[in-house]
Structure 1
Amino acid sequence: MSRYEEGLKIIEERCGNGKDNVISLATIAMEPNEDGKPRPYVREVDAFYEDGVFYVTTWAKSTKMQQIAQNQEVAFALCTGWFSGNGIGENLGWVLDPKNAQLRSKLRKAFAEWYDFANNEKDENCIILAIRITRATVIEDHGAVRYNMDFINKVETEEGKIK
């Protein structure tokens, strides 16, 4: 088993199997700071993980979705999970779109405790956000073991690098 595959196994153990994961999701604000530089923006979201992608139910008109529409590059960190990285955010559309039926079912199950309270599925702005991981770092044993993962080329790489 390669180190990349070892890292994937750890991610699956920590985040997979239908878990409701709380992640910090960072985007870039639409307006720059006073010096004209990009301003990061972060918030916690509940996310379902499967095959290198986090899925989030959200509102299409939210600040995060407006920011992702301008710049799809995002960063994430699993809260208390020693797993962080970058990805591409993609609006998959309305949760009730027939193409989202199978994924919606998984999300409803993972988020069962609060899904109906937080989501108005009748509103076409109730959407699914996919965060397709491009690069990640997984840490074990308080930093003694690190897996720096390039999800595009499916290899271990230098920290923060995609080959």
Structure 2
Amino acid sequence: MEERCGNDKEVIIGLATVALCTNADGNPRPAVRMVCAYYEDGVFYVSTDATKNKSLQIEKNNEVSVCGLDWFAFQGIAENLGWVKDNKNAKIRAKFKKVFGWFDEVGDEDNPNSIVMRITLTEGTIIDNEKKYGKSIYEINLMNKVVK
């Protein structure tokens, strides 16, 4: 993942959550959207607004799925780390400014609803069509640090 998504680059990922409304049968519905993120040490960081649907959905159920065009799909736990300008988020905010060329213009930092969303990956799959490291499919459990 570091090779594909790390090294201070912006990555567009699909972020799937559980919608707040149910289907006609009363069952949970999926909700997915593309978001800009950066990746570091098993975690994606996203700049968003606390009042957006994804944030409200994560507040109710923080289990998420992510995927990317770089052939990966993971489960994870999402967490609202609070206002982007909070002192505890200073390093992440600096990274946002470095990685996201658009952040200074549209990051809305002075809005207290402008937050940092952390997505900690737990398990998933990476596809290596080139078999660069020997296999084409890797099942990864980041919680137990196991690769199959």
The TM-score bracket by the shorter chain reads over 0.9
Q: Secondary structure at the match of 1:93?
A: strand
Q: Secondary structure at the match of 1:75?
A: strand
Corresponding residue for residue 125 of structure 1: 113
Q: Please say if 1:110 is aligned against 2:91.
A: no
Higher strand share: 2
Deviation track 1:143-163 (CA, whole Å, cap 9, x = no partner) reads 861110011111125xxxxxx
Q: CA RMSD in A?
A: 1.3
Residues 20-35 of structure 1 mapped to structure 2, 5 A cutoff: 20-35=10-25
Corresponding residue for residue 148 of structure 1: 139
Runs of 4+ in structure 1 off by over 4 angstroms are none
Q: Please say if 1:136 is aligned against 2:124.
A: yes
How far did 1:142 drift? Answer: 6.5
Higher helix share: 1
CA distance in structure 1 between the partners assigned to 2:57 and 2:136 by the alignment:
34
CA distance in structure 2 between the partners assigned to 1:89 and 1:34 by the alignment:
27
Q: Which amino acid aligns with 2:138?
A: Y
Corresponding residue for residue 86 of structure 1: 75
Gaps of 5+ in 2: none
Gaps of 5+ in 1: 1-10, 158-163
Corresponding residue for residue 17 of structure 1: 7
Q: Which amino acid aligns with 1:82?
A: W
Q: Which amino acid aligns with 1:125?
A: N
Deviation track 1:107-144 (CA, whole Å, cap 9, x = no partner) reads 11000x21122211111100000000011110011786
Q: Number of paired residues?
A: 145
Q: Secondary structure at the match of 2:22?
A: coil
TM norm structure 1: 0.86
Corresponding residue for residue 67 of structure 1: 57
Identity percentage of aligned residues:
48
